[in-house]
Structure formats: C-alpha cells, structure tokens
Amino acid sequence: MLGNGKKISISLGNGIVVKMPELTIALDPKSNSECKYSFVSHAHLDHVHSPKGVSKVVASKETVSLARARGYDLSRSVEQIPGMELVDAGHILGSRGALIEDRVYYTGDVSTRDRGFLKGFRGVKCEILIMETTYGRSRYVFPDINSLAHEVNKFIAASYDRGLPVLLTGYPLGKAQIISRLFDTWEPVFLHHSVFKMNSEYRALGVDLKEFEEYSQPPDFERVMRRGPWVMIAPSFSRSSAFVGDIVKNYHASVATFTGWAVDLCRTYRSASEKQQYHDDDEEEEEGFRRGGGRKTRVEYFPLSDHCDFRELVELVKYCNPSKIYTVHGFAKDFASYLNSIGFDAEPLSIEDDQMSISMFAT
Ligand SMILES: [Zn+2]
C-alpha cells in the first residue's frame, strides 16, 4: 500500500496509463505499451491486442483463452502482479476490473447485474475510480432481466404459433452466450458458426451451456429447417453482412436483436412490452431486411446489455464512494456532469485533456 503524500497520475493515450509510486501500468492499451505492465480487461476486440513489446501483460486465464480463439496471443500474460488485484467485472466471461495499490479502481467494461450464468460486479471501495460510462445518460435504464426474458419468450412463441422461425441476434462473444442460456428451453436451436465457436470456448472454460447444432447448409439440413419453426442465435445484423437478411428472406424468420441501444429504438422497444409491431416495407428496407414471399418481417429490439445502465452506474459510484472519478467511453461528459451535480468530484478522461494536464493526486 502506498503511504500518504505519494502521487498518482492518470492519463489517456495508448490505453489509460496509471502511474503510481510503485507501479506503472497501461489499462487496455490498443497496441504494445511502453509501460512495465499492461492490463487486458477482457477479450472484446476493442480491448485486446497482441503484445510483442517489453510490457508484461496481466489478464485472466479466461481472457487469454477467449483472445486466443479470436487470434490474439496473450499466452505470456500473468494473472497476478504485486500491487494489483483483479476483480470480476461481470461483463463477459473472464472480464476483470483492476484494483491498483488498494487506491485506484479501473472498471473495464462492467455490469452489476446478474445475467444467466454471469454474476454482476459487486463493487469495491476505492479512492479513485476510473469507470466506463457507455450508457451514462439517464434515458438508458434497462428492464429487469426476468421481465425481458418473458417478453422475448412471448415474441418467440408468437412466431412459433405462425410456424415461423426466430433469429436472436447479439454480438457473438458475451451476449450470444447469455442469450443461449436464457432461451435454451426452445427447440430446436441452431448457432451461427461465430456463436458456435464462442459457445464452445465457454463450455471448455466450464460454463454450463446446452450444446446446440451449428448452422450449416447441406441439402438435408435445409429440409430440417423447412420442417417447422426453430431458433437461431447469430451475430447482430450489420450492413456488411448479408447473413441475417438472407435467413429472413429464405425462411421468413422474425428477428429479435439484443442491445442496450434498444432504448433509443423506442418505437420497437415499446412494442416489446406494449404491443406487437410489424414494420412496413420502407422500415424493413431501412433495417436491411426484405420482404419475402409476401410476408412481413417482424423485427424487435430488446434492451439486454453487458454494461451497466444509468442507474447501475450511479449505484456503482455510490458503493465505491471514491473521492475522484474519471469517466471513459460513451457518455463520459454527461455522466461526469451528473456525478458532479450530486456531490461527487468527476471528470471525463479524454485525449484532449491529456495534452493539457495529467491528473495528479497527493493524499
Ligand atoms: Zn466489452
């Protein structure tokens, strides 16, 4: 532990660089760091890199495995270094926050909510909190997980009643595994190959996920898929991928997309809890889906996230009770302003600020 009077500096550059008297570490650097240590909080691609330099990487063993599956070699990393404790961040399997010298806590991407097999982050007391604020505006409040699952089950049941399959989409690492657990009572369930790969990794790491068949397209498989409704878990649609559009066109599948940003798509979010809604042709085109065989595609968005919502971020700060807070990612400015309005000392950590000053603490 550091004694009083010792300075800490925190800056943003290649990751967040924390300099303590005894330890200098880069938190989630984008590339090789010059710091003695680098911390990789989890295996999402915006947080992981393939280290080749002198910096010693700190990461959980699950993050090392998941990163390897995605083509990143963290095999020379360690799980522990003196003066730093890794804490489960509840974001995806293996995600960790870092408590440095018992004074500075970095959340990484974080969720305080229990979801399926994942336990939410419980919080740690700290002097300085560096926190992600992806959903740092008050409008981002997510529903209870059980009521959300209930709405989704109704959505799937409605499609099955019409004899139509359902696509459940979310990012393949993290979200897709929560979806796989929450909706594993439906049959049959198929997995897009990217989801199949990540589910297999989770299972190998000890997560009890049901084994589902990988989607493929031999002729007999086609017959199976035409026999009756099914569920498929796949990556979210992006304009660069025609996969979801093709599935929708070929099988008239309904689509449920899971993202915290569903709150912004209030038209469809409301429809999830208040009424069913079918998009008109223009909207289908806008979303990248086409009309198939004279049927309309049913598309809904459900606010399931692996991040804290606004209220959870506030609760997290209150629990940690730091004397200084730095916000990063998403609505960092807005959330810092809110924290200041309720009596905390907060500011967004930004590259621009880095040019002017490095935050210094002397306690
Ligand atoms: Zn993440």
What's the pLDDT score for residue 265? 76
What's the pLDDT score for residue 115? 96
Q: Which two tokens stand for residue 279?
A: 């998009």
Beta strands 84-88 and 56-58 are unpaired
- Distance, CA 160 to ligand 1 centroid (Å)? 33
- Distance, CA 225 to ligand 1 centroid (Å)? 33
- Distance, CA 363 to ligand 1 centroid (Å)? 32
DSSP annotation of 11 reads: E
Q: Where are the domains of the chain?
A: 7-139+307-359, 145-302
- Distance, CA 296 to ligand 1 centroid (Å)? 34
Closest residue by Cα to residue 20 from 143, 105, 86? 105
Secondary structure class of 85 (helix, strand, coil): strand
In terms of phi and psi (left: phi > 0; alpha: psi -120 to 50; beta: otherwise), the region of 235 is: beta
Over residues 108-167, the pLDDT tens digits come to: 999 999 999 999 999 999 999 999 999 999 999 999 999 999 999 999 999 999 999 999
H or E element at residue 138: none
Residue 100 C-alpha from the chain's centroid: 23
Q: Helix H segments across 110-237?
A: 145-161, 175-182, 193-204, 219-227
Cβ distance 259 to 269 under 8 Å? Answer: no
Averaged pLDDT, 294-314: 88
- Distance, CA 5 to ligand 1 centroid (Å)? 35
What's the pLDDT score for residue 330? 94
Closest residue by Cα to residue 210 from 117, 115, 302, 304? 117
- Distance, CA 256 to ligand 1 centroid (Å)? 21
- Distance, CA 319 to ligand 1 centroid (Å)? 22
Higher pLDDT, 264 or 106: 106
Residue 219 C-alpha from the chain's centroid: 36
- Distance, CA 252 to ligand 1 centroid (Å)? 32
Over residues 64-73, the pLDDT tens digits come to: 999 999 999 9
Averaged pLDDT, 8-13: 92
Secondary structure class of 259 (helix, strand, coil): coil
- Distance, CA 33 to ligand 1 centroid (Å)? 20
The dotted CATH code for 7-139+307-359 is 3.60.15.10
Q: CA–CA separation, 298 vs 277, rounded Å?
A: 7
Over residues 337-350, the pLDDT tens digits come to: 999 999 999 999 97
pLDDT exceeds cutoff 50 at 354: no
Higher pLDDT, 319 or 282: 319
Q: CA–CA separation, 121 vs 39, rounded Å?
A: 18
- Distance, CA 111 to ligand 1 centroid (Å)? 10
What's the pLDDT score for residue 154? 97
Under the banding of pLDDT at 50, 70 and 90, the label for residue 281 is very low
- Distance, CA 155 to ligand 1 centroid (Å)? 27
Tracing tokens 């240590």 back to the chain, one arrives at 37
- Distance, CA 249 to ligand 1 centroid (Å)? 31
- Distance, CA 175 to ligand 1 centroid (Å)? 10
DSSP annotation of 261 reads: G
Averaged pLDDT, 26-38: 92
pLDDT exceeds cutoff 80 at 287: no
- Distance, CA 95 to ligand 1 centroid (Å)? 8
Under the banding of pLDDT at 50, 70 and 90, the label for residue 63 is very high
- Distance, CA 92 to ligand 1 centroid (Å)? 7
Beta strands 359-362 and 7-13 are antiparallel
Question: What percentage of residues in the chain have a pLDDT greater than 90?
Answer: 69
DSSP letters spanning 100-132: ETTTEEE--S---S-BTTBPPP-----SEEEEE
Cβ distance 268 to 277 under 8 Å? Answer: yes
| Cα angle, residue 20 at apex, residues 6 and 112 outer, rounded to 5° | 115
Backbone angles phi, psi at 118, to 5 degrees: -95, 130
- Distance, CA 334 to ligand 1 centroid (Å)? 20
- Distance, CA 307 to ligand 1 centroid (Å)? 8
Higher pLDDT, 122 or 3: 122
Higher pLDDT, 267 or 305: 305
**CATH architecture of structural domain 145-302:** 3-Layer(aba) Sandwich (3.40)
- Distance, CA 44 to ligand 1 centroid (Å)? 5
Averaged pLDDT, 276-280: 32
